[in-house]
Amino acid sequence: MNCPNCTANMEKGKTVLTFQMGEEEIVVVRDVPAMICDQCGEEYVDSDTAKQVEEKVERALADGIKMGFIDFNTAA
């Protein structure tokens, strides 16, 4: 896959995604699988992974988490 910004090669890696919901709720998801550009550092998360992350964040908020970190591979 080539980077949409600079057309350099993208390789598999991991990223961190931060979600701020309102003024008081912040959830950080670590170790999210992503494609990362070798040249410019652009990160791309595919739609299936994005959906999984969204579900994990929604569950964390439903469980009453206001601020926290969750790991992509271990979060329920």
pLDDT number for residue 76:
54
The CATH number that applies at residue 37 is: 3.10.20
Residue 39 domain-assigned (yes or no): yes
The DSSP call for residue 66 is S
Residue 63 domain-assigned (yes or no): yes
- pLDDT band for position 75 (cuts 50, 70, 90): low
Nearest to residue 36, comparing CAs of 46, 51, 22, 24? 46
Q: Is the predicted pLDDT of residue 1 greater than 90, yes or no?
A: no
What is the residue range of 56's domain? 10-71
pLDDT number for residue 58:
92
| Mean pLDDT on 64-71 | 92
Alpha-carbon distance 76 to 13, whole Å? 21
Residue 2 domain-assigned (yes or no): no
| Each residue's pLDDT tens digit, 10-58 | 999 999 999 998 888 999 999 999 999 999 999 999 999 999 999 999 9
Question: pTM for this one?
Answer: 0.87
